[in-house]
Structure 1
Amino acid sequence: MSGQAAVEAGAVLDRRFGAVGGVLFDIDDTLVDLGFAMTTALRDVSEHLLPGLDQAGWEKFGRIFTHETTHYYDRYLAGELTFNEQRLLRGRAALGHFGVELGEGEESHNWLSSYARLQPSYVRAFEDVTPLLDALDAAGVPYGAVSNNVHDYQRVKLDSAGLDRIRVLVGTDTVGVPKPDPAIYLEGVRLLGSTADSTLYVGDNRLLDAEGSTAAGLLGVWLNRVGESAPDFRGHEVATLLELLAGDQAA
């Protein structure tokens, strides 16, 4: 995209970002409500192990699995665990908090396979995704996704959420490194045909998405959906994807 074309197409976006030639997104909890899909499927496959658990208990169960055990996912990204091993360890940690031990062998296999089967059925896009992509399409701004998971797994997730229009997709296996390695963001830029300094990268993880992409030369944006406090953060921050649009578009 030429400089003039970037200026014209990027006019749909908030002027604080300057001339935008492309937009890259994180996927999980940015475009897709993975938290909802995970916690709903977790309850489905674990209710028989935790009969009578109240709503507060299920919310705690979900927080342990989705947020308090991400060190196991980091070990997967580092090649120390398989994807299923990290998932099982997270499940065991959540169940263990309530005094339940998930047995080896068939019991673990059944829990894992049931969760893997059910979770995709609950995958959905956030409500602000389609309006933003519609605006980008209308303005001719190319977009794609860069994820800290493997390409094919995330391709299925996007398609299941009705986001098959996102054709550019970079996974950890695409270039062999995860975020925040600059190479993974820059591969997304290359596939968009834009330049790093004119490409927004938007994601819910302040460190990996906003700060990591900024360090790689992109325009990092932290999507802070939950209103997390980060007084030392000095970068771009939005509460919804629609805040990326120019004022008249977002109204």
Structure 2
Amino acid sequence: MTGVSGVLFDVDDTLVDTATAFGAGLADAFGTVTELAPEQHADVVQIWRADAGGHFRRYVAGEVDLLTQRRARVLEITTHLRLPELDDEAFATFETAYQAAFAASWALFEDAHACVAAAVDAGLAVGVVTNAPGEQQRAKIAAVGLADLLPTLVAVDTLGVGKPDARVFREGCRLIGTSPEATLYVGDELEVDARGAVGAGLKGVWLDRPGRRRGGPHAVTDADIDAAQADGVEVIASLAELPALWQGRAPASE
């Protein structure tokens, strides 16, 4: 990659270890309903991240609101655990516990701050494009100490739709003042993030952290990776490899 003047970042499971925060939130929330065995807790997190029913994708497409998609995903899990569906009162208690534990568990990956700081130090324009609500993501970015480095954010509620819609990537470019072809976008989902960015005219990078793939409809095969790379997607295993791309060098892992 050459001619990079800006970098746009995904947040969840790219900069912030959201999978671990999900685990903490779900553990506390389901603790209001039942006592989960360790293997059940692992299943709950896997089901939540896979979202086989596509409920979060419906939210990103503007078809349902955030709470509706979350309640549908909770129903998937209670059905899997053979528990009764939560009534309104039980779900409200669940939601309160989930939100508190989830927010308390937000933490950066070890490679995240250095990568964002390196981009800023290199004189690149930086920002965030995320499929979560803007208010939550701004709070998350502030909580992990990135607010000063990443003040510019495009969220799912900015335009009413999210990635991989090309408009949200291009809005991110507009806000940081770069052209799409001179902007690098990095995220942890191959289709939604990296291929979506390439489709919008950006330089797409898939962050494939070892052991962090989601499964379900997000499952990635070797053929998927080969096809994406043929279409221009770069693949890295750590954000420590990203500076080499904006400097026009191959990542060290290659």
C-alpha distance in 2 between matches for 1:224 and 1:168: 24
1:216 aligned to 190, 200, 216, which one? Answer: 200
**Does the 8 A contact of 1:177 with 1:184 survive in 2?**
yes
Check conservation: 1:224, 1:239, Cα contact below 8 A. yes
Q: CA deviation at 1:46?
A: 1.1
How high is the sequence identity, in percent, across the aligned residues? 34
AA aligned to 1:46 is: F
CA distance in 1, matches of 2:91, 2:112: 36
Tell whether the 8 Å contact from 1:84 to 1:112 is kept in structure 2 after alignment.
no
Please report how far the alpha carbon of residue 226 of structure 1 lies from its aligned counterpart in structure 2 after TM superposition: 3.4
Q: TM-score, normalised by structure 2?
A: 0.85
| Partner Cα distance (2:131, 2:7) in 1 | 17
Q: For 1:9-88, what aligned pairs fall within 5 Å after superposition?
A: 17-51=1-35, 53-69=36-52, 71-88=54-71
Query: SS of the counterpart of 1:184?
Result: helix
Between the aligned partners of 1:236 and 1:62, the Cα distance in structure 2 is 28
Give how far 1:95 is off. 2.3
Work out the CA distance in 2 between the residues paired with 1:225 and 1:107.
36
Pair 1:233-2:231 in alignment: no
| Amino acid of the structure 1 residue aligned with 2:138 | R
CA distance in 1, matches of 2:181, 2:17: 28
Please report how far the alpha carbon of residue 86 of structure 1 lies from its aligned counterpart in structure 2 after TM superposition: 1.0
* Counterpart in the other structure of 1:12: none
Change over 3 Å in CA distance of 1:218–1:179 after alignment to 2: same
| Gap regions ≥5 residues in structure 2 | 212-219
Amino acid of the structure 1 residue aligned with 2:76: A
In structure 2, C-alpha distance between the alignment counterparts of 1:159 and 1:123, rounded to whole Å: 10
Answer whether contact 1:24 1:201 (CA < 8 A) is retained.
Answer: yes
Which structure's CA Rg is the greater one?
Answer: 1
SS at match of 2:33: coil
* Distance in 2 (alpha carbons) for counterparts of 1:96 and 1:20: 48
Runs of 4+ in 1 over 6 A off after TM superposition: 247-251
How does 1:147-158 map onto structure 2 within 5 Å?
147-158=130-141
SS at match of 1:202: strand
Tell whether the 8 Å contact from 2:131 to 2:156 is kept in structure 1 after alignment.
yes
1:249 Cα shift? 10
Q: Is the contact between residue 27 and residue 147 of structure 1 (CA under 8 Å) also seen in structure 2?
A: yes
Mapped contact 2:119–2:243 kept (Cα < 8 A): no
SS of residue matched to 1:93:
helix
CA shift in 2, pair 1:170/1:244, >3 Å:
same
Aligned length: 234
1:188 equivalent in alignment to 2:176: no
Q: Which residue of 1 aligns with 2:215?
A: none
Compute the displacement of 1:133 (Å).
1.6
TM-score w.r.t. length of structure 1: 0.86
Q: 2:98 aligns with which of 99, 104, 115?
A: 115
Give the aligned residue type for 1:147: T
Distance in 1, Cα, partners of 2:165 & 2:251:
33
